[in-house]
Structure 1
Amino acid sequence: MINLKNIKLDEITASDIEEEYIYYQSSAEEHKYQMSDDEEFYLGLQLTQAQKDYLVSVGQPPEANNKIRPAVEQVLSNVAGSSPEWDVRPVGKTDSEVAFVYNRLLDKIWYDSDGDRHFRSCVKDYIVKGLAYMYVYPDWQSEQGRGGIKIKRIAPENIYVDPNSSDPFFRDAASLILSDTTTKTAMKSVFPEYAKEIDDAREDYRDDDYVTANISLTLVTYIFSSST
């Protein structure tokens, strides 16, 4: 069993994460645009402007007969129509009670996280965009401040993976980066002890097409070391 107290990690600075993020982002830019195009195609934006102009010229509505969306919804109803099931099996003869507790615990985590909704979104992401991520994280505000484990779906566009990874599940990736955009006010409400550092942090509009007036947007990045 791994002793977490004895694990030694290399010191990581904010500049290290930023450099790695820029490198990962530049490598994934084309793929992110492809995801956006796939989403638009699924939603019905399947005709070019020239095709729309031609349909209008012959008296037809400039709309596509979208057969993709009903097919996706059919797969969703088959795969995500009910909650997934798991079974914690005891190893020894005396482990049955422990297995029962863990089964109930997993059920509670799934229920408290509204897991069915997030699971359906993940299935849709995988069908439409080819990737899906479900994030397990500690929610320190749950259980009346006592904390708990939650799960949620993360948009594939917000995940940046080591471009040198060749494993389908990114198990050989040096790291994964989760990128999100939020306001400084929201950040300070979550991390009040770092209010000064958040105020001093510079804004990053690299992912934004429009700069929001009167609201300072800052790019928050988290880095996860992969297990090897």
Structure 2
Amino acid sequence: MIHTIWWSLPLTLLVFFAARKLSQWLKISLLNPLLVSMVVIIPFLLLTGIPYADYFQGSKILNDLLQPAVVALAFPLYEQIHQIRARWKSIITICFIGSITAMITGGAIALLLGAKPDIAASILPKSVTTPIAMAVADSIGGIPAISAVCVIFVGMFGAVLGHSLLNLLKINTKSARGLVMGTASHALGTARCAEMDYQEGAFSSLALVICGIITSLTAPFIFPVLLRLFG
């Protein structure tokens, strides 16, 4: 029986906003609020012996708010609709190339390093948002739970280091930065873009949606080819 821990929601919010304030104060990208929250809360649960299911039940409202939060991403897209209409061919091409590259590199490298097919299938959809990645992995013989972990890792990597890498490469166009982050780092990258710049967040959320669709449609065809070539 799952017991509700009433203080899990206040604890989660307190840690997150404290981490966000610290990140803004120190200006260190590694102090990403989500990463810091995980570093604090996971050891806390392990040390206290509190089951994750109990903790989750107490803060379930945050999980329930994810769906309306995703829907809310449509508003910045609407405000950028004139630019999207003018560049839709380039946007789709960029997202298509990015999605295919992400799947091929993830699946091929896993197979070349000796991973079993189910592990490679789990890694392949690593660059799309968690629900889509889990569904895609399940459809091609992967393990959804492993896909979820890969998605979180890739998203955190992009959210923490993505903008630093874009600055190093001198990619300054807001639309380009947003498309790159949304294609490679899905929702976590999009959240970071939204914090940095409104237009970046809009294009990142657009890339997140388009790449999710492309991955869902092409993964069942790409993975058998990778198995034949590298399996």
TM-score, structure 2 as length reference: 0.25
Indicate the structure whose relative CO is greater, using CA pairs within 8 Å and at least 6 residues apart: 2
TM-score, structure 1 as length reference: 0.26
Could you say which structure has the higher strand fraction? 1
